[in-house]
Copies of this chain bind each other. A is one copy, B any other.
Amino acid sequence: MANIKDIARIAGVSITTVSRVINGHPYVSESKREAVLRAMKEADYERNINAVHLIKGRTGLIGIMVPSIKRPYFALVVEGIAEEALRRGYKLVLIQTDYEEERELEALRMLKHKQIDGLIVCSKTSGWSAFETYLEYGPIVAFEDARGSRVPSIFIDHYRAFTEALDYLWDKGHRRIGFCLARRSGTSSRQRIEAYRDFLIRKRRPFEESCVFDDTIHVEDGGPVVERLLDMQHPPTALLVTSDQVAAGILARCRELELEVPRRLALVAFDDQPLARVLGITTFAIPLQEIGAKLFRQVLEGGAGHTEIPVRMIERGTV
């Protein structure tokens, strides 16, 4: 394909002039501009973007690290990021990690390689220090509580939200409260477990391992929770569920088994995804799309610091 040199030759001008026309710089006479444009059309010229990237040292690409895009939670964040990226003329590179450190590292290497101009970490498994090391190569921002690290973050105080939810259920008369987590080792899970333990201490109640259900991530993970519940001597009367999807799965199985919600089992979920609205699930509103947009803006501006996103409970019919 034709390159800028060819165009210069065809139009009878220098390469510089062609570049000026392409980039809209001033100081090009109308006649030459037209000649260049004509030549470009004639030769079906298209700028080789990789040469531009090389010389500019930027690519207009932002990396998004997500464990799995099929989880609506992340899909919503990415949607928010994508909308903002579009508005700013950036493209996104999707890096699906499945929580494997090696893949997370590869995303960081892309930053060092200058293949991406910045990196948005939606969730991760490696320690913060790995990310801090790469901070010098380009902006990174995380959607996870990174306070205490040098990685800028936009986060939700899960300790506070969980505490609020627990108190709410307690006030509604629930004395045995269980909860569902995704990965036990995740940052937010650890905060939630801490909130749970502190709550129990405050209420002088014993911690019971049987009340925590982990690895509940997808809608189909809800059913088994209900079955385990039914097998218990003293099952919890309320469940805090860290994802609307799982809550929907629980709700569906409860209906099948004619276990009344909220009479027999109360549910408080998180995210306020459309599904929760439709099913009337009491949940914490987390503005995932807006958070996505914020993440994008922050990574572009390269700002430091940690921003908390407030969440609030939306009462519907499951408590």
Mark A residues whose CB is within 8 Å of B.
46-51, 53-54, 57, 59, 61, 64, 68-70, 72, 75-76, 78-79, 82-83, 86, 91-96, 103, 109-110, 112-115, 218-220, 222-223, 248-249, 252-253, 256, 274-275, 277-280, 289
Contact = CB atoms under 8 A, between A and B. Distances in A.
B113 A49 contact: yes
A220 B94 contact: no
B220 A248 contact: no
Contacts of A82: 69, 94, 96
Contacts of A79: 68-70, 96
B220 A278 contact: yes
A78 B82 CA distance: 14
Contact of A113 (B46, B75, B103): B46
B274 A219 contact: yes
Contacts of A70: 72, 75-76, 78-79, 289
B96 A93 contact: no
Contacts of A76: 70
Given A46-B112, A92-B94, A274 B220 contact: yes
Nearest to A317: B256
19 contacts: A49-B110, A50-B54, A50-B59, A50-B114, A53-B54, A69-B79, A70-B75, A72-B75, A79-B96, A82-B94, A82-B96, A91-B95, A92-B93, A92-B94, A93-B93, A219-B278, A220-B278, A248-B275, A252-B280
A278 to B, nearest CB: 5
Given A69-B82, A248-B278, 5 more contacts: A46-B113, A50-B115, A72-B75, A79-B96, A219-B275
Nearest to A100: B86
Q: Is the interface of A mostly helix, strand, loop or mixed?
A: helix
Contact of A48 (B86, B114, B220, B248): B114
**Of A70, A82, A94, A113, most B-chain CB atoms within 10 Å:** A70
B96 A94 contact: no
Contacts of A83: 96
Contacts of A103: 86
B96 A86 contact: yes
Contact of A222 (B53, B94, B113, B278): B278
A259 B229 CA distance: 29
A91 B82 CA distance: 17
Nearest to A292: B70
A253 B278 CA distance: 8
A50 B53 contact: yes
A48 B113 contact: yes
Contacts of A113: 46-49
A223 to B, nearest CB: 7
Contacts of A92: 93-94
A36 B279 CA distance: 62
A222 B280 CA distance: 14
A59 B60 CA distance: 14
